[in-house]
Amino acid sequence: MLTVIAAMGANAQVKKAPNFTLPDAQGKMVSLNSLRGNWVVLDFWGSWCGWCIKGIPQMKENYAELGSKVKFVGIAFGDDKQTWLGALKKYQLPWINLWENPEIDRKNSVVTLYGVSGFPTKMIINPDGYIVNTTVGEDPEFYEILKALIK
């Protein structure tokens, strides 16, 4: 099932994106706050998610086109560290990639903090730190929404 929640109008309800800090592949801790002032795409995914993997080529195309205007951030969920590192290598993901330890208490999870209900879920955060779009499922229209927002 595909759900698109777009907050593009003047009266739309938007929510401040909660800060989080997660490790990248080199073990460096990266916080969302460190990306403030930029457009950010959060991509909640897992190597076990067929639709997530199916969407990688389109995300790569859009990263190549928009990477100078938007920070793309993959947040892996449900993979052990070795599986996640193997997926990064296998799929050659060029954007910021962060890992959430699947053994963390779910109530403290970034996935819970963001209310992720399915995978993949992509969120667009504006430079002021507000979530202005959430797309659950793999939908090519997500990138059209992104392009319209960053103009």
CATH superfamily ID and name for 44-150: Glutaredoxin (3.40.30.10)
Q: What is the pLDDT of residues 20-54, one digit of tens each?
A: 999 999 999 999 999 999 999 999 999 999 999 99
Q: Domain segments of the chain: what residues?
A: 44-150
Outline where the chain has alpha helix (H): 50-54, 56-66, 81-91, 110-113, 141-150
Partners of 124 in the beta sheet?
A: 41, 133
pLDDT of the residue at 16: 96
| pLDDT at residue 3 greater than cutoff 50 | no
- According to DSSP, residue 7 is labeled -
Output the pLDDT for position 81: 97
> 74-132 pLDDT, tens per residue?
999 999 999 999 999 999 999 999 999 988 888 889 999 999 999 999 999 999 999 99
User: CA–CA separation, 115 vs 126, rounded Å?
Assistant: 18
